[in-house]
Amino acid sequence: IALWTYTSRNMDLRTPTDNIPFQSITAAKDNIEESIIRTPLIPLNYNVPGKQVYLKLENLQPIGSFKIRGAGNALANLSSEELKDGVYTASAGNFAQGLAWNARERGIPCNVVVPDHAPVTKLDAIKRLGGNIVKVPFDQWWEVIQTHQYEGMKGKFIHPVCDPAVIAGNGTIGLEIVEDLPDVDVVICPYGGGGLISGVSSAVKSLRTNAKVYACEVETAAPLKLSLDFGKPSTFNYIASFVDGMGGKSVLDSMWPLVSNLVDDSLVVTLQEVADSVKLLAERNRVVAEGAGAATVAAALSEKFSDRLSGNIVCVISGGNIDTNKLIQALEGKIPQ
């Protein structure tokens, strides 16, 4: 643990390597085990020939998302001196909640820069957890993601994606998946900035070398698929949608070495498929998932990917923070607006 603490405090957070060391992930497990829920892995109540689909229910975390893991590990790796002025981040909602929750536990202030399309459910939760919100247009928010700073804001910036300690914290999900399902064949993670899948893949592939780890993107925000096809970080014509927990305009240059090495491919699904999966999860498993979390199930069930998805498939249900009106629309068979 001491070695990882030293490394993470002195590592350039803009330039992760092409993998996350396994010992960093096991150290993260020790750092956060008292503050998270070890979420269950359950079968999807839906029969598909040739495959068994499982759900890793990160929507059951105290903040309704996996982000509590990475945020907790990031703060555990910082000194009291580094935390004296508090922390801030740029987030569409879930990482902000994770950081605010952990900051509140430590009694330090937390500021959050959010994009103007962030859902009310997530903004209200950030406020309940003591976070101070600064709402900006999406392009300005994305600039904070890229530059790792917001002019005039005090505190230590914690990147929601690139920070190696955040990624290692996310990787603890992968440890739990293999512990619960040693013969896992495929893991599907929603892709936002790459922090989740990079951590999960680092853990899973360290323990189960033949397992495939796929990203999942939605048709309106699929920069990873585009980048993988072109072999370099590429810009996508991003369109905001109800699937707010994943997607962006491009793959971050600093994350490209990690994701290009650790991700087997990106599975792109439609908005309708995601909405249908939100409905399916609610009806079959009584699971409330936001768009990004349900997208992984959409990919697992899609006939488009049947040639590569077989055996034991784990869908990471990354979060459940969906606005009530959008959930209702999905349950009615509509694409939430």
**What order do you get walking across the sheet with 87-90 strand by strand?**
132-136, 110-115, 87-90, 156-157
The secondary structure of 50-66 as a DSSP string is: TEEEEEEEGGGSTTSBT
Q: For 171-198, what is each residue's pLDDT tens digit? A: 999 999 999 999 999 999 999 999 999 9
Angle of helix 94-106 versus helix 120-128 axis, rounded to 10? 10
Alpha-carbon torsion, ordered 140, 145, 148, 153, to 10 deg:
50
Kindly state the tokens that stand for 29.
Answer: 């497990």
Q: For 82-123, what is each residue's pLDDT tens digit? A: 999 999 999 878 899 999 999 999 999 999 999 888 888 888
Owner of token pair 């068979």? 333
The model's pTM: 0.90
Q: For 250-307, what is each residue's pLDDT tens digit? A: 898 889 999 999 999 999 999 999 999 999 999 999 999 999 999 999 999 999 999 9
